[in-house]
Amino acid sequence: MDKAGSDELPLVRPHRTGLVGPLLVHLARRIRAETDCELEAFNLRARHVVALTLLRTLGEQSQASLAETLRMNSVNVVGLLNELEAAGLIQRRRFPQDRRRHTVAISTTGIHRLAKVEEALADAEARVLAALDADQLASFQQLLQIATATATTDAEEPIAAAAARKPRNPAARRKH
C-alpha cells in the first residue's frame, strides 16, 4: 500500500460518545499501513521485528521458550527463524544439554538492522501522529502505557470471558 492509500482509510467517528475502541482500531490500521510500507523496504514483516526485539531484550532463548513467548506453535516459529537466519539476523546453536534442541540469539547484523527498522517505524508513527504536539504525544504514550499495563497478558482470558457472557439485546437496553 502506498502512502496515499493509508490516507484513504475511512474516518471513524463512533455514534456513541466515550467509545475509544473504534478510534484505536482505526489508528492501529493507519499505523499498520505506514509501518508495513516501511518494513517492506527491509524485506521484513511485523512478526520478524517482534521476534528480533524479544531476542535483543531477553537474550539467547531456546526455540521452545521463544515459541511460548511469541504464542506461536513450534512449526511456525521454525519457519520464522529460518527466514531470519537466512537473512543473517539471528544465529541458532545446538542446546548444550540436548543436541536435538536449539537456542536462538540475535546476531550483530540483526541488532544493527533492528536499530534501522526502529528508526523507520518511529518515522512512520510520527507521520500518523503528526497532529499531536509534543505534550499531547507524551500524554498519549503515558495513557497507552497505563492502559496496556492493566490489560491482561493472557489472550485466552478475554475470549473466554466474552464467550461466557450472554448476547446483549440492544432493544432491551433502550427500554431502560
Which CATH number goes with the domain that contains 44?
1.10.10.10
In a domain, 161, yes or no: no
In a domain, 123, yes or no: yes
In a domain, 17, yes or no: yes
In a domain, 162, yes or no: no
In a domain, 71, yes or no: yes
Residue 97 pLDDT grade (very low, low, confident, very high; cuts 50, 70, 90): confident
Q: Are residues 55 and 104 in contact, defined by beta-carbon separation less than 8 angstroms? A: yes
Start-to-end C-alpha separation, the chain: 46
Model confidence pLDDT, tens digit, residues 145-160: 888 887 655 545 554 5
Model confidence pLDDT, tens digit, residues 54-90: 999 999 999 999 999 999 998 999 999 999 999 999 9
Domain count, the chain: 1
Torsion angle (degrees, nearest 10) of CA 24, 31, 36, 61: -70
Selection from 60, 6, 65 nearest residue 32 by Cα: 6
Domain that holds residue 77: 3-130
In a domain, 164, yes or no: no
* pLDDT over 70 (residue 2): no
Q: Are residues 72 and 51 in contact, defined by beta-carbon separation less than 8 angstroms? A: no
In a domain, 155, yes or no: no
In a domain, 25, yes or no: yes
Residue 33 pLDDT grade (very low, low, confident, very high; cuts 50, 70, 90): very high
